[in-house]
Amino acid sequence: MNTSEIRHQINQYLERSSFARIYLAADFLAYLADKESEEATQELLDVPGFIESFERGKKDVAEDRVVNWRNIRSDVERCFICPSGTDLSISKPSSS
């Protein structure tokens, strides 16, 4: 079963559910989202030197010691892949 089919099935369940059950489901989904966010944060915090590097980066931004990545990597194209797998790449703008 793919994501779209699961979402469709969830919507069918929601259409048949009472307000109280929908509220409970929303609360549970919020819990899962928070848990996932906390796990991702912890994963970053577990990287040796991350906190120090992050703090240095914040200081560099505050002191305007930053460079636009496009000035460094002019060969990069913006690339977007939508959930259906369709490539929505945007070619880099030409210099004028």
Tens digit of pLDDT for each residue in 3-60?
999 999 999 999 999 999 999 999 999 999 999 999 999 999 999 999 999 999 999 9
Residue 69 pLDDT: 73
Residue 2, judged by CB atoms within 10 A of its CB (0-12, 13-18, 19+), counts as exposed
Instruction: Return d(Cα 74, Cα 12) in angstroms, integer.
Output: 47
| pLDDT at residue 72 in the model | 75
Strand partners, 90: 78
- Indicate the pLDDT class of residue 62, thresholds 50, 70 and 90: very high
Per DSSP, the three-state class of 74 is coil
Global pTM reads: 0.48
Q: pLDDT at position 34, please?
A: 93
